[in-house]
Amino acid sequence: MAKSRKLQGTVEEVETAFYDALSHADLDALMALWAEDEEIVCVHPGAPRLTGHDAIRASWEAVFERGGLHIRPLQLHAVHNVMAAVHNLIEDVRQGPQEGEARHILATNVYLKTARGWRMVMHHASIAPGKMPESLTGATVLH
């Protein structure tokens, strides 16, 4: 499990750090954003559900072997309360240094307020049907 580090104070800052870690293929930084609870969940597009730090870490390590993910998070829909936050968004994803054709992914990130601050407890991503709407292609980057 990753070392305990003091992270940013808001769920938005943790989410920005998540996408930054993905773009830099920084496995340690990525795993530091997850809650310490072994009930954490990750679902990659077209893949089975993974639970626990070891399975999730191994899956991201395999993704990073092909290079970082270049993701533009778009159309954030957020629901927050004092202890939990659910972010649903569209990810414009390009993998590797060539940044080939973009895929758009529907993603849900769930965060809980823990003793260590906001931490991710679930990332669920699935391939969006159809082509990316043209209205999204000029959208601004959230990070």
What 22-26 contacts at long range (C-beta under 8 Å, 24+ apart), as own/partner pairs, is 22/68, 22/69, 22/71, 23/68, 23/69, 23/70, 23/71, 24/68, 25/64, 25/67, 25/68, 25/69
pLDDT the model gives residue 1: 41
Distance (Å, whole) CA 34 – CA 117: 10
Distance (Å, whole) CA 35 – CA 100: 33
pLDDT at residue 140 tops 70:
no
Does residue 136 lie within any of the structural domains?
no
Give phi and psi for 23, each to the nearest 5: -70, -25
Does residue 97 lie within any of the structural domains?
yes
pLDDT digits (tens, 9 = 90+) for 23-36: 899 999 999 999 99
pLDDT the model gives residue 68: 77
Does residue 134 lie within any of the structural domains?
no
Distance (Å, whole) CA 2 – CA 87: 23
CATH number, domain of 86, equals 3.10.450.50
Q: Could you list the residue range(s) of the whole structural domain that residue 115 is in? A: 11-129
Distance (Å, whole) CA 122 – CA 14: 13
Count of domains for the chain: 1
pTM of model > 0.85: no
Does residue 83 lie within any of the structural domains?
yes
Does residue 139 lie within any of the structural domains?
no
pLDDT digits (tens, 9 = 90+) for 75-134: 999 999 999 999 999 999 876 555 556 688 999 999 999 999 999 999 999 998 876 555
What 11-15 contacts at long range (C-beta under 8 Å, 24+ apart), as own/partner pairs, is 11/80, 11/85, 11/87, 11/111, 11/118, 13/118, 14/111, 14/117, 14/118, 14/119, 14/120, 15/73, 15/87, 15/109, 15/111, 15/142, 15/143
